[in-house]
Amino acid sequence: MNGCVQTAILGLLIAAPFLGLETAAAEKPNVVIIFCDDLGYGDLACFGHPTIATPNLDRMAREGQKWTNFYAAAPVCTPSRAALMTGRLPIRNGMCSATRRVLFPDSAGGLPKEEVTIADALRAAGYATACVGKWHLGHLPEYLPTEQGFDSYFGIPYSNDMDRVAESPKGRAAFLHPRPEYWNVPLVRGKEIIERPANQHMLTRRYTEEAVNFIKACREKPFFLYLAHSMPHVPLFASEDFNGKSLRGLFGDVIEEIDWSVGEVLGALGDLGLAEKTLVLFTSDNGPWLIFDQHGGSAGLLREGKGSTWEGGMREPTIFWWPGRIPPGVVRELGATLDMLPTCAKLCKAPLPDDLVLDGYDISPALLGTGPSPRKEMFFYRDTQLYAVRRGPFKAHFTTRSAYGADKAETHDPPLLYQLEHDPSEKCDVAAKHPEIVAELRQLAKSHQKTVVPVRSQLDEKLIDIRQDLSKRRQE
């Protein structure tokens, strides 16, 4: 029996006690989320880049919806991915820390098992589920995708710059002149390492082939595919077909290969007659890693990049595509990766626990053209601290700090205030002109923070600390 069919049957059996079976599976859309790593707001042609060619994403934007005010929930990898998967701010589930910004190969934690992921919800509704690409929500067996609602997993468990070997060039040299042997990153299928070090030149191509094969295998059943590219996170690698081809250099080569990948996925859906049955989202986990110069991307006219709570760190180039179902156009209302769990649950008729505290909204009215986006505000966390709040066009910064500089956090009283529709580059502080808006956003922040219950950080525990503690206990 086909593995995809087996997992779909298992999902139906799990869901049977609480799932209304009056809706046929054929009415449920497939869902594909294509998630990039460190892609900047200005890195696609359809978002303004003058020399990177992205014809497939341009087509996706023409035929679908380009969202210009869509946010990741954090400015770095791990907390951002946790928010996408759970619809919850990382401060609620411990996927952030005041000392470690992301998970590392020596980390002992991961996404808590009690969290409900998009994959959990959709598998319970009869979906086949696959994770392809970068995970970064825990590399230990108990935290891998197959323990978080996914039937299958193929990819690397954390960022492609981790597991750096001691013999690699010191400092930035390894990133500016990258070679695969400088890193010992594992490639995993299920829970088994099948290649180490992974051939990073081939990651985008192999992810794409795996994704297309999953779509073909599961075309008779509803499916959820999470395709999380490792690129354009440094070190940058492209396959031979794309290396040296872009006017933008190596970074452009990487983006153009991702664009090719999008074309392969959309092409497979079209060839199989699934285009009108499939919602596809393309976005990124955070903004560009600007400290890597030409190996980092561009936030366009937005301020700063990855690691910061300025717009360039968290506002993402975002495209939704669902031919025949969502009206094409530009959507300027607010949206966020946090919204994908409740939106998918609504569209896919997947029940969620009644007591689940979500920070996401069902944005399907805005997608389907039946109403406005319910998201009116956005909270900007850096690690465990709330730095800024946006409501409507106004954004207040209570605390600021450069993404990766040596400066310390600076508190602002009154907060800095920007009108983002007039000033998306956050250059002109208008707090003095709008004291009533400042007061409103202060109160919004206070009300939100009252809903946050402190939990143990999953990022703070290290394997070496746990092993030392166990050894000490044995000695005692």
CA distances from 68 to 41, 129, 284, 327, 373 (A): 9, 29, 13, 16, 13
Selecting among 36, 131, 136, 344, the annotated active-site residue is: 136
- b/e 110-140 (16+ beta carbons within 10 angstroms → b): bbbeebbbbbbbbbbbbbbbbbbbbbbbbbe
Residue 77 falls in the annotated catalytic set? yes
Let me know if 448 is a catalytic residue: no
Residues 6+ apart with CB under 8 A from 213: none
Q: Whose CA is closest to 334, among 322, 318, 321, 357?
A: 318
Rounded CA-CA distance 438/429 in Å is 11
**CA–CA dist 332, 21 (Å, integer):** 36
300, 69 contact by CB (below 8 A): no
Of 77, 96, 131, 218, which is the active-site residue?
Answer: 77
Contact 458, 112 (CB under 8 A): yes
What is the spatial distance between Cα 338 and Cα 318, in angstroms, rounded to a whole number?
A: 13
For 192, other C-beta atoms within 10 Å of its C-beta total 10
In terms of residues, how long is the chain?
A: 476
| Per-residue CA distances from 351 to 16, 60, 123, 162, 421 (Å) | 11, 30, 11, 37, 36
The separation between the first and the last C-alpha atoms of the chain, rounded to the nearest angstrom, is 53
In sequence order, the β-bridge partners of residue 65 are 320, 329
Separation between Cα atoms, residue 356 and residue 113, nearest integer Å: 14
Q: Which residues are catalytic?
A: 77, 136
